[in-house]
Amino acid sequence: MSADLQAQGVEFNYPDGRRALDGVDLDIAAGERVAILGPNGSGKTTFALHLNGILEPAAGSITIAGMPVIEENYPEIRRMVGLVFQDANDQLFMTTVREDVAFGPMNMGLEGDELDRRVDEALRVVAGTEFADRPPHHLSGGEKRRAALATVLSMDPSILVFDEPTSGLDPAGRRELITTLASLPMTQLIITHDLSLALELCDRSVIMNRGRVVADASTREILSDAELLAQNRLELPRVIGSEG
């Protein structure tokens, strides 16, 4: 299952009054996989926290599968939108991975066989069955990231939002994660500085800067615009043999 997402004129101010989002407009179709690029402090994470109502916009609106993101819809919205946080330690707060993966479905009222089925399936998708009963602080970085993904997959989401999914992973861990993301049918928003990941996984990319969407085009088009990339503090990886 995948769902579409519309954001219109989303504005948000930090508690100290600084403007974090300055009218974000974004339209994402069901099943699309879109990279959200942009410099640090451009509002990417703040925007992600609006998608399931953790932060509420000062102005503007967001709808998920036609449903406005407002308080009365939060339970359903939070089931549909799975947020994978940048620091997996923030996402894994129970004493074992299995309990963490069960946390979401249990909040939805699932129990018994259906709960077990959901948890086992989510762990299988991320190849995490073997570390299911370990405490989170005994996992490697890559395992933690996969476990964090399992904690939202168990809620059967329609949209997945990743915040820097590959930061801090070794190349093999990064590759495993990319393979997993490529296999998932849900709509995906991937906040990243990893441009080669964007190119590999996402047909479309969006650049955010100073709380606005400043570019929205095919990933190939965006990555070949050197001036646009430089303006937004982005840089393509250099490949051996292409220097100079």
**Contacts to other proteins from residues 122-141, by CB under 8 A:** 133-138
Among 82, 128, 165, 211, binds other proteins (CB under 8 A): 82
Strands (E), the chain: 5-13, 19-28, 33-37, 59-64, 67-68, 81-84, 159-163, 187-191, 204-209, 212-218
Residue 89 backbone dihedrals phi, psi, to 5 degrees: -65, -20
Q: Does 106 bind other proteins (CB under 8 A)?
A: yes
Is residue 12 a contact point for other proteins (CB under 8 A)?
A: no
What distance in Å separates the CA atoms of residue 160 and residue 152, rounded to the nearest whole number? 8
Question: Is residue 44 within the footprint of other proteins (CB under 8 A)?
Answer: no
What is the DSSP annotation of 90-120? HH--SSSHHHHHHHHHHHTT--HHHHHHHHH
Determine if 72 is a binding residue for other proteins (CB under 8 A).
no
The span from the CA of 73 to the CA of 179, in Å, is: 32
Question: What number of chain residues touch other proteins (CB under 8 A)?
Answer: 34
Binding-site string for other proteins from residue 139 to residue 178, where x marks contact by CB under 8 A and - marks none: ------------xx--x-----------------------
For residue 107, state whether it binds other proteins (rule: CB under 8 A). Answer: yes
Enumerate binding residues for other proteins (CB under 8 A): 49, 52, 54, 75, 78-79, 81-83, 85, 87, 89-91, 93-96, 99, 102-104, 106-108, 133-138, 151-152, 155
